[in-house]
Structure 1
Amino acid sequence: MIKGEGTRGRLVAATRELVEAKGYHGTGLNEVLALAGAPRGSLYHHFPGGKDQLIGEALTAAGQEVDALLAQLTTSAATVGDLVRALLDALADRMVAADYAKGCPVATVVLEVAGSDGALRELCGAIYEGWQRVLVGALRDAGHESVEDLAATVLALIEGALLLARAGRSRVPIEQTSRRIDVLLGS
C-alpha cells in the first residue's frame, strides 16, 4: 500500500458514513477527521479541493457500491422484477442496519444541492443516470416497451420508498412499493 493511501481511504469512508446520515451541511470536517482518526493536514493534502472534493469522492464510492450490486443482480436475477426486489431489499437491509439513519447513499446530498449548478449536483445526477441506464438495459432485455419511462418510474419508486421508510422508520413502504413494482412490471 502506498503511504497515505490508508489515511485517504479512511477519510473517504468516514465522510461517506457521515454524509449519508447527515447530508452535506450536517457533515463537519472536524467530525470526519475524528471518525477517520486522521490529522487535519492529511485532509488538505489528500483533498486540496476541500469539502466538496471529499464529499464528491464519498458519493462516487457509494455510487460504485450500488453499481456493483446492480451488476451482480443483473447477472443473477431471473427476471427484472427479481432484480428490482433484490435491490430494494438490499437497500432496505442497509437502512435498517443503520437504524434508519441512511437510505439511498446519494439522496441525502442531492436534496441539499439540487438547486445549485455545482459539481456535486452534477455528480449526483450522473450516479442516478448510471443506475437508470442499468434498469433500461434490464427492462429492454426483458422485452418491456417504453423502457426509458419505465426505468425512470421504477427508480423514482425505489427512491420514494426509501425516503418514506426512513421517515416512518418502517420497512412497510418498501414492501408496498415492491408489490406495486411487481404489478407494474407484470412479475
Structure 2
Amino acid sequence: MASGQAGGQDTRTRVLEAAGQLFRRQGYTGTGLKQIAAESRAPFGSIYHFFPGGKEQLADDVIRVSGPEYGQLVLSLLNGVPDPLEALDSAFRMAAERLAATDYADACPIATIALEVASTNETLRTATADVFAGWIAGATAWFGRFVPDEERAKTLAYAMISMLEGAFVLARAARSGEPLLAAGRSIADLARAAMNEG
C-alpha cells in the first residue's frame, strides 16, 4: 500500500514538473495534455486521476507550487551575498547565466502563463496574482532590512520583480543575457539611492 502511494506521488510529481517545464517554454495554450503525459512518462488517464479538473487544475497547481519555489530561490540568491547591492547584481547575473544554460528556453515559471491568461482565465489569473503578491511580500521584507521606509521597500520590490520579468522577456527574444545584467545594475542603483536617503 505504501509503495503504491509513493508511486502515485512520484507520478503526480513527474506530471507537475513536466507541465511546469512545458508551460514555461510553450505557454498554456501551446501545451497539450497528451504532450504532458508523454514528457512525464505517465499514463494519460493519470492526469485526470490526480487533476480531475483537467488542464486548468494542473496549471493552477503548477503555478501555486513552482511560483513560491522560484520566489524562495530568488531570495536565497539575495541572502547568499552579505552586501545588498552586490546581492542584487549577483542574483540578476545568476539569472542570466541560468537562462543562457537552457538556451533561453526556461525563464520565470509563471510569467508565460500570466501574460497569456490574465484576460481570459480568472482561475489562473488569480493563481498568478497570488504568487506575485507572495513575491512582492518576500522582496519587501528583504529590502526592508536595508531601507527602513516600508513603502520605499515595497516600491523597490515592485521595481525588482518588474525588471526581472521584463528582462526575461527581452533576454529570451534577443537570446542575450544583457537585459538581465542591465536590470541588475539598475535595481542596484535604485536600492543604493534608497539606502543613501535613509
Q: TM-score, normalised by structure 2?
A: 0.86
Residues 96 and 181 in structure 2, CA contact (< 8 A), matched pair in contact too: no
Distance 1:162 1:74 in 2: 18
- What SS class does the counterpart of residue 24 from structure 1 fall into? coil
Q: Distance in 2 between matches of 1:124 and 1:157?
A: 17
Deviation at 1:60, TM superposition (A): 2.2
The letter of the residue matching 2:180 is I
For 1:172, which of 172, 178, 187 is the aligned residue? 178
Cα 1:117–1:50 shift into 2, 3 Å: closer
Q: Pick one of 114, 137, 144 that aligns with 1:140.
A: 144
1:161-181 per-position Cα deviation (integer Å, ceiling 9, x unaligned): 111111100001111111112
Q: Does 1:64 align with 2:64?
A: no
More displaced stretch, 170-179 vs 72-81: 72-81
Match of 1:85 in 2: 89
Cα gap change, 1:87/1:106 in structure 2, threshold over 3 Å: closer, same or farther? farther
1:118 and 2:117 correspond: no
In 1, are the aligned partners of 2:75 and 2:139 still within 8 Å (CA)? no
Aligned residue for 1:96?
A: 100
Structure 1 residue 69: deviation in Å?
1.4
Return the alpha-carbon distance in structure 1 between the equivalents of residues 143 and 32 of structure 2. Answer: 40
User: Where does the alignment leave 5 or more consecutive residues of structure 2 unmatched?
Assistant: 194-198
Percent identity between the aligned chains?
A: 34
Quote the RMSD (CA, aligned, Å): 1.8
Are 1:164 and 1:173, in contact at CA under 8 Å, matched by a contact in 2? yes
Contact map agreement 2:89 2:181 (CA 8 A) in 1: no
1:101 and 1:157 map into 2 onto residues whose CA distance is 18
Bigger Cα Rg: 2
Aligned to 1:49: 53
Shift of 1:35: 0.6
Structure 1 segments of 4 or more deviating over 4 A?
Answer: none
2:38 maps to: 34
Pairs aligned (count)? 187
What is the TM-score with the length of structure 1 in the denominator? 0.91
**Hey, what's the Cα distance between the residues in 2 that align with 1:102 and 1:115?**
23
CA distance, structure 1, for counterparts of residue 128 and residue 93 of structure 2: 22
Aligned to 1:20: 24
TM-superposed CA distance for 1:38, in Å, is: 1.1
